[in-house]
């Protein structure tokens, strides 16, 4: 993020020779004639400097040529997020999925602003890792999310998930404040402002406080280069060769399809990452395919949520998720078969009523569950 640009200053050192002396009055014929001293002639003034300049330019070009034009930030084309380490992408998506306000691009832009994706610590500020956590902040938000036996701010997966937890906690606070009418503004902007200045400053201002403006502007300026992270990667396949998942509830009555929508509670327009199926409170929810339960817990946005890893199917890692459940009937580590009861329909988390929110994730990217399901 601390771009260091080499500034090339051209110095023109053009030294004109002394001007010719003005003509002197003719001496009387009786006086001896002094030979006038001449100044630099046209060859010295024009040709020699031109030759020197030409020689210097030729040598410069031979040593490497002109640099590419300096990028103009106002016309710079945003990248597609390809500069993000591919191994970080599933963690960015997972961290953002913990609440409805966040998108992966927001987390990526924050990390870019905080550290430029460098995990070097700042000896002066004491911030560590790509998400720039201090020791005290890490004690609050840090966990061993990748299961390697060590929770560290220098572990990118742990850092990304910790930043997501922190942001989601702030998003929950500002959402409540806006619902109560105590603050006004876009929830993403209010969340970022709360990150920069604290929720108390946002509450006192009733909006994004002035002291958060610089941070907010910097993060928003970086968002376009990471927008591709918010879109699913279909890989051009358009879905599986055939329906490979059984219905998680019956019947399959869609009330909110996969795709962009305005969230009915938060008012935020973003990708609806799955399909909502209508079902009564307490209806049975079953596993859509054989796999291993890798997550089963209560979350703030999705309520009771279960994630099943089905391994590799047609060259892609496939996971399914089941959210807003009223009960969790399986534990992490259990292997289930297609049709195994795993929980019951509910309305936990951010929900307007009993239903099942069902997702299909391919290699860390959300995709439309429709083509994967039998009907």
Do the domain assignments include residue 65? no
- Per residue in 318-347, pLDDT (tens digit) is 999 999 999 999 999 999 999 999 999 999
Query: Residue 252 and residue 67: Cα distance in Å, rounded?
Result: 60
Query: Residue 324 and residue 346: Cα distance in Å, rounded?
Result: 5
Q: Are 217 and 269 contained in the same domain?
A: no
- Can you read off the two tokens belonging to residue 315? 């060259």
Do the domain assignments include residue 197? yes
Mean pLDDT of all residues in the chain? Answer: 78
Q: Are 275 and 186 contained in the same domain?
A: no
**Does the pLDDT of residue 214 top 90, yes or no?**
yes
- Can you read off the two tokens belonging to residue 258? 């996969």
Please, are residues 288 and 373 in contact by the beta-carbon 8 Å criterion? yes
Q: Into how many domains does the chain fold?
A: 2
Give the phi and the psi of residue 277 in degrees, each rounded to 5.
Answer: -110, 130
Q: How many helices (H) and strands (E) are present in the chain, helices listed first?
A: 9, 12
Query: Residue 7 and residue 228: Cα distance in Å, rounded?
Result: 32
User: Cβ-count burial of 147 within 10 angstroms (0-12 exposed, 13-18 middle, 19+ buried)?
Assistant: exposed
Do the domain assignments include residue 86? no
Q: Are 260 and 340 contained in the same domain?
A: yes
Q: Are 190 and 145 contained in the same domain?
A: yes
- Residue 169 CA: distances (Å) to CA of 27, 92, 100: 98, 16, 11
Q: What is the CATH number of the domain that holds 276?
A: 2.70.70.10
pLDDT tier, 375 (very low <50, low <70, confident <90, very high otherwise): low
Do the domain assignments include residue 14? no
Q: Are 212 and 263 contained in the same domain?
A: no
Examine the fold and report which residue of 197, 230, 263 is the final residue of a domain before the chain moves on: 230
- Per residue in 84-138, pLDDT (tens digit) is 887 788 889 888 888 888 899 999 999 999 988 887 655 456 789 999 999 999 9
pLDDT, residue 269, reads: 75
SS3 261: strand
Do the domain assignments include residue 7? no
> By residue range, what is the domain housing residue 262?
254-372
Query: Residue 22 and residue 38: Cα distance in Å, rounded?
Result: 10
What is the Cβ-side half-sphere exposure of residue 189, based on CA atoms within 13 angstroms? Answer: 17
Q: Are 272 and 353 contained in the same domain?
A: yes
- Per residue in 248-275, pLDDT (tens digit) is 999 999 998 888 877 776 777 777 889 9
Give the phi and the psi of residue 86 in degrees, each rounded to 5.
Answer: -55, -30
Q: Are 331 and 223 contained in the same domain?
A: no
- Per residue in 297-325, pLDDT (tens digit) is 998 889 999 999 998 887 788 999 999 99
- Can you read off the two tokens belonging to residue 291? 């796999």
Please, are residues 266 and 187 in contact by the beta-carbon 8 Å criterion? yes
Query: Residue 131 and residue 117: Cα distance in Å, rounded?
Result: 8
Q: What is the CATH number of the domain that holds 113?
A: 1.10.530.10
Do the domain assignments include residue 69? no
Do the domain assignments include residue 274? yes
Q: Are 342 and 273 contained in the same domain?
A: yes
Q: Which residues pair with 261 in a beta bridge?
A: 270
Minimum mean pLDDT among 47-61, 191-205, 291-305: which range?
47-61
Do the domain assignments include residue 30? no
- Can you read off the two tokens belonging to residue 79? 């990248």
Examine the fold and report which residue of 191, 214, 230 is the final residue of a domain before the chain moves on: 230
Q: Are 307 and 363 contained in the same domain?
A: yes
Q: Are 109 and 217 contained in the same domain?
A: yes
Examine the fold and report which residue of 187, 214, 230 is the final residue of a domain before the chain moves on: 230
Q: Are 223 and 268 contained in the same domain?
A: no
Q: Are 117 and 149 contained in the same domain?
A: yes
Q: What is the pTM of this model?
A: 0.49
**DSSP string for 204-254:** HHTSS-GGGHHHHHHHHHHGGGGGGGGS---TTT-S-SS--B--SSSS--E
**DSSP string for 296-327:** EEEETTTEEEEEEEEEEETTEEEEEEEEEEEE
Most confident residue range from 59-73, 162-176, 261-275: 162-176
pLDDT, residue 300, reads: 83
* Higher pLDDT, residue 110 or 25: 110
**Does the pLDDT of residue 3 top 60, yes or no?**
no
């Amino acid at each position: 993020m601390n771009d260091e640009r080499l500034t090339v200053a051209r110095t023109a050192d053009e030294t004109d020779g002394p001007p010719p002396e003005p003509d002197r009055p003719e001496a009387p014929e009786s006086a001896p004639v002094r030979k006038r001293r001449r100044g630099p002639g046209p060859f010295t003034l024009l040709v020699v400097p031109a030759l020197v300049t030409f020689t210097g330019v030729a040598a410069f070009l031979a040593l490497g040529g002109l640099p590419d034009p300096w990028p103009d930030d106002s016309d710079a084309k945003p990248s597609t997020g390809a500069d993000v380490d591919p191994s970080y992408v599933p963690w960015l998506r997972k961290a953002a999925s913990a609440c409805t306000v966040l998108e992966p691009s927001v987390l990526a832009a924050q990390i870019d602003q905080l550290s430029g994706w460098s995990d070097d610590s700042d000896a002066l500020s004491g911030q560590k890792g790509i998400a720039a956590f201090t020791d005290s902040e890490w004690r609050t938000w840090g966990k061993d999310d990748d299961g390697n036996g060590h929770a560290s701010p220098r572990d990118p997966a742990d850092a990304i998930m910790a930043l997501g937890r922190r942001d989601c906690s702030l998003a929950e606070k500002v959402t409540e404040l806006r619902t109560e009418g105590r603050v006004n503004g876009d929830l993403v902007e209010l969340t970022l402002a709360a990150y920069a200045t604290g929720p108390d400053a946002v509450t006192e201002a009733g909006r994004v406080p002035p002291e958060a403006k610089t941070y907010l502007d910097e993060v928003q300026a970086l968002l376009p280069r990471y927008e591709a992270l918010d879109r699913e990667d279909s890989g051009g396949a358009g879905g599986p060769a055939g329906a490979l998942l059984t219905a998680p509830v019956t019947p399959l009555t869609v009330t909110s399809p996969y795709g962009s929508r305005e969230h009915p509670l938060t008012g935020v327009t973003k990708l609806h990452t799955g399909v909502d199926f209508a079902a009564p409170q307490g209806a049975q929810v079953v596993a859509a395919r054989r796999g291993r339960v890798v997550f089963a817990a209560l979350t703030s946005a999705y309520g009771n949520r279960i994630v099943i890893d089905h391994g590799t199917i047609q060259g892609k890692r496939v996971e399914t998720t089941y959210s807003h459940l009223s009960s969790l009937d399986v534990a992490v580590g259990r292997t289930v078969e297609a049709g195994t009861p795993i929980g019951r329909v509910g309305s936990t988390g951010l929900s307007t009523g009993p239903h099942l929110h069902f997702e299909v994730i391919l290699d860390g990217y959300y995709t439309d569950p429709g083509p994967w399901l039998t009907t």
